[in-house]
Structure 1
Amino acid sequence: MLQLDTFSAIPVFVCVVEQGSFSAAAQHQGITKSAVSKRIAQLELSLGTRLLHRTTRSLRLTEAGEQYYACAQAAVMKAQEGEDRLAQQQKQPSGQLKVTVPMTFGRLHVAPLIPEFLKAYPEIRLDLSMEDAMVDMVEGGFDLAIRIGHIPESSLIARKIAPCRSVLCASPEYIAQHGMPQSPADLRHHNCLYYSFFRGGAEWRFDGPTGIESVQPQGNYRVNNSEALREALLHGTGICQMPTFIVGPDLAAGKLVPVMTDYALPVHAIYAMFPERKHLPAKVRVLIDFLLLHLGTDHPAWDALPRL
């Protein structure tokens, strides 16, 4: 008998056969190639037989795979039919929608949109959790997560909303007192403030005129909240790497100034993440569409300010 978690591998197996490769199936499913491989291996282990002959250049069904594919394809089509019927019945999205978002991004850019969203979808009961720590969506019972930066490999589907650009910056007062660093090596002589939940690693990485350079930030202030770092920057405490969705207005107003502009920081992204499934519940889909409508662009409003 198949384990419950093995059932999720069945549509992946059908997609691999239909698409003709693991790479194409991964792109179609919105997951990584290694996640596809893991699902197929899990399914073969559960069934106790090999379903696919794989080489570097080709992929074909085994005899057992051909027999199983016919049944699996019928099962996926039947499940799709059931989902379509439910979707037709649920014309107005409704029910509880549990969402987790990063604290500062949520407060600045998601929370202001919520009244309009709830006005458009009054049957949805939104439970919005704002926290910077990475939470387990399944364990927490979340329908949707907004995540920023490096996304660890998982079975979740990631839908990009917008890029997340960062800038190294400080207040004019700090620069006047301590000088303007010209290279990553100069940062060793400055007070570097640090975000303790930064998922890019312990180092700051720069793409400069001579290639990639890294530096270990050293300073007297480490905190797990970006708005606390912004306050410290505005008061001249030190230099910090900050996302422009937080400090864009301060840079535009001259309250903060960019530092080492010849050295680019990595560009990350803001994602909507949800459990792997071909057809989302209407309540999740409409929120993703709403966020994409208002925030989904390669040139978000916080990067389009004067002086930026």
Structure 2
Amino acid sequence: MQIGKREEFDLNEMAIFVHVVEAGSFTGAAKNLGLPKSTVSRKITQLEERLGVRLIQRTTRSLRLTDTGNAYYNQCARILGEIEEANIAVTRMQSTPTGTLRLTAPVLFGATVLSGLIAEYTEKHPQVSVDLVLSDQKLDLVQDGIDVAFRVGNLEDSSLIGRHLGDARSLLCASPDYIKQHGMPKHPENLAEHSLINLTQWASWQLCGANEELYNHNVKARIQVNDFASLYTLAMSGAGISPLPTLIAAPAIRAGSLVPVLQDWPFEASPIHALYPSNRHLSAKVRSFVDFVIESVRPTPPWEVGVITELTPAVPTDIDNQ
């Protein structure tokens, strides 16, 4: 066989040959395969002509393998067995979660919510391993080999499937000691009288009141930082009023360590979606993980329990862009 030259072969002929050998006759093989005896005989003849060797010695009463035929049978049986095992393995992968699940998510959502869900999921599915990439940059699912991406914000036009998990919201928060000492603002206009802690990149706070009323507050911050973890620490220490995502603030609010400020004036909500390429031929690991996450956070996301009530959702439904 020359390198680079593709020899012709027919798996169907090989399978028929194996059936003939194992049945001991053309008649038995034809019956097992549901084929006419003449078709089985013709296929064996074609196989022998293609190979240029005699595989089976035929008599009126019996069949006998030649030495070449016996060696060829062993090879064919092994190859066909491996093909069957491969088919079974692929089918099992589609029905049983297995393999490595590669995920990406924004840093805050991944650290506060997704990591805990991954721990629960992998305990239930020990054959699945997870590679989680936390980044506030949007990775390309195909180019970066991502199975599922979690995104905060409105979805861009694409062919991806989007499953809505809930909404990311931010509230103004302060420590109980700060409120006790400085009082609770009654209206966004009162914020000018307070010590404010802000993200460096936020020049103003756009707050959403009742009846879709908007209030834009130009922030004159006493302290500015560039990450939410520092905002949280400063708010907990009583340094002032800080905008905090419920993703990070919810446990402290429920425990009474933080107090919502102007709760009727939250920031605009941003939808959170799980994105994956297509429902068609979706692997069991992707389908089961996304379903698990959906079941874990609906109908009320854990980062809103006891914190957010009666607020309009950012996005009402899942999105299928196929």
Q: State TM-score, norm by structure 2.
A: 0.58
Partners of 1:193 and 1:163 lie apart in 2 by 23
Matched, 1:181 2:185: yes
Partners of 1:282 and 1:196 lie apart in 2 by 43
CA change 1:261–1:91 in 2 (3 A) is: closer
Equivalent residue for 2:283? 281
Report the 3-state secondary structure (helix = DSSP H, G, I; strand = E; otherwise coil) of the residue aligned with 1:141. coil
- Correspondences of 1:97-246 after superposition (within 5 Å): 97-195=101-199, 203-208=205-210, 211-246=213-248
Partners of 2:217 and 2:194 lie apart in 1 by 12
Residue identity in the other structure for 2:255? A
Contact 2:153–2:272 under 8 Å retained in 1: yes
Residue identity in the other structure for 2:189? A
Partners of 2:183 and 2:122 lie apart in 1 by 49
Contact 1:147–1:271 under 8 Å retained in 2: yes
Partners of 1:233 and 1:141 lie apart in 2 by 39
- The alpha carbon displacement at 1:291 in A equals 0.7
- The alpha carbon displacement at 1:171 in A equals 1.1
Contact 1:93–1:123 under 8 Å retained in 2: yes
Residue identity in the other structure for 1:304? V
Contact 1:161–1:270 under 8 Å retained in 2: yes
* 5+ long unaligned stretches in structure 1: 1-84
Partners of 2:224 and 2:144 lie apart in 1 by 27
Contact 2:178–2:240 under 8 Å retained in 1: yes
Partners of 1:130 and 1:284 lie apart in 2 by 18
Q: 1:257 aligns with which of 253, 256, 259?
A: 259
Equivalent residue for 2:301? 300
* 5+ long unaligned stretches in structure 2: 1-88, 310-322
Partners of 1:283 and 1:210 lie apart in 2 by 41
Residue identity in the other structure for 2:215? E
Report the 3-state secondary structure (helix = DSSP H, G, I; strand = E; otherwise coil) of the residue aligned with 1:290. helix
Contact 1:244–1:303 under 8 Å retained in 2: yes
Q: State TM-score, norm by structure 1.
A: 0.60
Partners of 2:98 and 2:250 lie apart in 1 by 36
Report the 3-state secondary structure (helix = DSSP H, G, I; strand = E; otherwise coil) of the residue aligned with 2:95. coil
Contact 1:156–1:275 under 8 Å retained in 2: yes
Q: Which has the larger radius of gyration?
A: 2
Partners of 2:129 and 2:265 lie apart in 1 by 45
CA change 1:158–1:191 in 2 (3 A) is: farther
Partners of 1:137 and 1:221 lie apart in 2 by 38
Partners of 2:113 and 2:212 lie apart in 1 by 36
CA change 1:89–1:249 in 2 (3 A) is: closer
CA change 1:214–1:271 in 2 (3 A) is: same
Partners of 2:149 and 2:212 lie apart in 1 by 38
Partners of 2:136 and 2:173 lie apart in 1 by 21
